[in-house]
Structure 1
Amino acid sequence: MSDTRLARMLHVLVHMHLLGGGETSETIAKMLNTNPVVVRRTMAALKEKGIVRSAGGRSGGWRIAKGADEITVEQVHDALQTGSAFSIALSRDHITCPVEGAVNTFLDQAMADAERALRTRFAGTTIQDLANAFV
């Protein structure tokens, strides 16, 4: 099953930046066709990392906590997920088999290379960059 949280939260953050104001969990939930409870849980993870802040009351809701040029895709990714972005698992069915060992070594190195490249790209791209790509 694919994890769409990163794509969905980047979408939300770009909209929040472009709209310049706060958005309620209900508004974000409508945008994403999901439940406000799911939005609050996901936004809480972003809040914990200082990406968004929340306020209660009539003019409350979620707001971006810092400039769009200061929030990287990597920061959003790390707020939502720990560990590798890849879900490919190595086989451990035949740990004494040299073929399985060679395959696992190859896959492990390839995923490490891909993870480094992905993280470099994520670290070098901000919410502002994504907004600029839209405009």
Structure 2
Amino acid sequence: MKKDSRLSTVLHILLHMHFHARPMTSEQLAQCAGTNPVVIRRMMGLLRKQQLVSSIAGHGGGWSLTDKLTDVTLRQLHDVLGEPAIFAIGNRNERPECLIEQAVNAALGDAFDEAEALLLAHFGRIKLGDLLADAEKRNINRNVRGKNEI
């Protein structure tokens, strides 16, 4: 089963946007993320609806960050993306007739629910500003070694 990497992609492009400090086109962001510009436009449209990014049409235009983005949590971004499934594993049959499969589903379902709640709570504690600070620290360390790649 294919993994849903939209949250990772959104975080990646938002950090690039911050460090470029100017509007970036969907094509530029797609190049940064290694994906198609259509994928970027879909995600950015969702972020624009929540007023986390803005767009400027025409020459010199593109996507820009809004001021409130640094306080946005990973949980909020997860929700903006439509709350994609956290896990690629699940029950074999959601409404089984078999009593044994019902017992298996109950055990697995409780474990999945508990793990998802923990992960989402953790996402709620991480702000995009935390990732920005970490990326800036990594860039400073890289510059000390003579490489600047952000």
Question: What is the TM-score when the length of structure 1 is the normalising length?
Answer: 0.87
In 2, Cα distance between equivalents of 1:105 and 1:41: 36
- Report the residue type matching 1:66 in the other structure: D
- Report the residue type matching 2:81 in the other structure: L
In 2, Cα distance between equivalents of 1:125 and 1:74: 8
State the partner residue of 2:33.
Answer: 32
Q: Contact between 1:14 and 1:128, CA under 8 Å: does it hold in 2? A: no
Residues 1:74 and 1:56: Cα distance change in structure 2 (over 3 Å): same
**C-alpha offsets along residues 12-46 of structure 1, whole Å, 9 cap, x if unaligned?**
11121223222111110111222222211121122
- Report the residue type matching 2:40 in the other structure: V
Greater Cα offset, 4-13 or 92-101 = 92-101
Q: Contact between 1:53 and 1:64, CA under 8 Å: does it hold in 2? A: yes
1:103 lines up with 2:104 in the alignment: yes
Structure 2: give runs of 5+ residues left out of the alignment: 138-150
State the partner residue of 2:130.
Answer: 129
In 2, Cα distance between equivalents of 1:128 and 1:32: 20
Residues 1:110 and 1:59: Cα distance change in structure 2 (over 3 Å): same
RMSD of the alignment, in Å? 1.9
Task: State the 1:113 CA deviation.
Answer: 0.8
- Report the residue type matching 2:31 in the other structure: K
Runs of 4+ residues over 6 Å off in structure 1: none
- Report the residue type matching 2:65 in the other structure: I
**Local SS of the residue matching 2:114:** helix
State the partner residue of 1:9.
Answer: 10
Residues 1:89 and 1:20: Cα distance change in structure 2 (over 3 Å): same
Residues 1:93 and 1:62: Cα distance change in structure 2 (over 3 Å): closer
Structure 1: give runs of 5+ residues left out of the alignment: none
1:71 lines up with 2:72 in the alignment: yes
Q: Identity of counterpart residues, as a percentage?
A: 36
Aligned residues: 135
In 2, Cα distance between equivalents of 1:66 and 1:103: 47
Q: Contact between 1:51 and 1:65, CA under 8 Å: does it hold in 2? A: yes
- Report the residue type matching 2:8 in the other structure: A
Residues 1:11 and 1:98: Cα distance change in structure 2 (over 3 Å): same
Greater Cα offset, 75-84 or 47-56 = 75-84
Higher relative contact order (CA 8 A, sep 6+): 1
Question: What is the TM-score when the length of structure 2 is the normalising length?
Answer: 0.80
1:23 lines up with 2:21 in the alignment: no
